[in-house]
Amino acid sequence: MPCLAGSLNAARLTADELVKSLPGLERHARAESEQFANVASSDLTLGQWLELSRHINALFTEDADLAGIVVTSGTDTLEEIAYFLNLTVRSERPVVVVGSMRNPSTLGYEGAANLLAAFRVAANPASRGRGTLVVLNDEINAAREATKTDALRLDTFQTRGYGILGVVDFDRVAYYRNVVKRHTRDSEFDVNSIDELPRVDIVLVYQDASGDIIKALVDQGAKGIVIATAGAGATSGTQGDGMRYALDKGVFVVVTTRAGSGRIAAAPRRGGGGSRISGEDLQPVKARILLMLALAHTKDSTEIQRMFTEY
């Protein structure tokens, strides 16, 4: 079972160092390590995302005995890489993304405990078919739903409104619910057919905001824009004018909420070639990922809205 070291905290360890730091790991899994990158998670590029997903797919294809894969990541953008893998790794075998809130030089470093829990989850047959999983603080969250909710606390990754999938206790891995949205094995997104992800940007709604920012993004080549609206879809200032400009230019606009949870109801609105898409209950950063993958496959607004409903 490979441990793919993607990106770690300030005092970054290699994949091999991470695996060797886990006494008793052999009781749960036969682990192998592989170094993918060793940079801050925020420094990873979209090209590296594609490369990592292709590599994981290849590992699953080449090794039928491989139970699962653990990917380490810095926590700042962990939820993004996890959701991307959730949409693009096409296997029912689990990918578990794990990190730590404290770096190895800090008193109370929890990285080793989190990593051991991640291996236990990846090795557990009950983890199959649940999509990409996020494991920290002995809790298992679905990649689609996990959100970093605190800049410092160890229990930062939570699933607002829906609850965790399960827990990692001393005696066993215990699951309590499953994921109903499409993912991994049932995904239609094939990274082998994507050379480059289209540009999609995120705009936050705030009081008396200028729509010029949206227009500027369109003029700079954005193919899609995710609007993190106030409440259930409200914009402010001249942002409505900016959104209409984007739609008239054929840019797809996905409406989400900045509230942290809640669903945006579908309200299609077409412009010159673009469309307004409901982001459903996805966080803005995850709506961006889904829109990039959607636009890499189609420009049909009905199809894109279907994807947001199903994924």
| Binned average pLDDT, 10 residues per bin, the chain of 311 residues | 52 77 85 87 94 97 96 96 98 97 92 95 98 98 98 96 96 97 98 97 98 98 98 96 97 97 80 82 98 97 97 98
pLDDT of residue 5: 53
DSSP 158: E
In a domain, 61, yes or no: yes
Last residue of a domain, one of 186, 209, 231: 186
In a domain, 191, yes or no: no
Last residue of a domain, one of 186, 216, 235: 186
pLDDT of residue 7: 45
Is the domain of 50 the same as that of 91?
A: yes
In a domain, 194, yes or no: no
Enter the pTM of the model. Answer: 0.93
Is the domain of 165 the same as that of 261?
A: no
Q: Which residue has the tokens 């962990």?
A: 78
CATH number at residue 235: 3.40.50.40
Span 30-87, pLDDT tens digits = 888 898 888 888 999 999 999 999 999 999 999 999 999 999 999 999 999 999 999 9
Contact (Cβ atoms closer than 8 angstroms) between residue 276 and residue 246:
no
Range of the structural domain that residue 35 is part of: 2-186
Is the domain of 68 the same as that of 208?
A: no
CATH number at residue 13: 3.40.50.1170
Is the domain of 99 the same as that of 247?
A: no
Last residue of a domain, one of 133, 160, 186: 186
Total tally of structural domains belonging to the chain = 2
Is the domain of 204 the same as that of 182?
A: no
The strand order across the sheet containing 224-229 reads 200-204, 224-229, 252-257, 275-278, 269-270
In a domain, 47, yes or no: yes
Is the domain of 163 the same as that of 232?
A: no
Contacts of 203 (CB under 8 A, 6+ apart): 213, 214, 217, 225, 226, 227, 228, 239, 242
In a domain, 302, yes or no: yes
Is the domain of 100 the same as that of 172?
A: yes
pLDDT of residue 29: 87
In a domain, 91, yes or no: yes
pLDDT of residue 22: 87
Is the domain of 16 the same as that of 151?
A: yes
192, two tokens: 């082998």
Cα 298 to Cα 80, 188, 196: the distances in Å are 22, 12, 14
Is the domain of 125 the same as that of 11?
A: yes
* CA–CA dist 252, 258 (Å, integer): 19
pLDDT of residue 8: 40
In a domain, 107, yes or no: yes
In a domain, 283, yes or no: yes
Is the domain of 81 the same as that of 174?
A: yes
Strand partners, 4: 34, 71
Is the domain of 10 the same as that of 127?
A: yes
Is the domain of 170 the same as that of 25?
A: yes
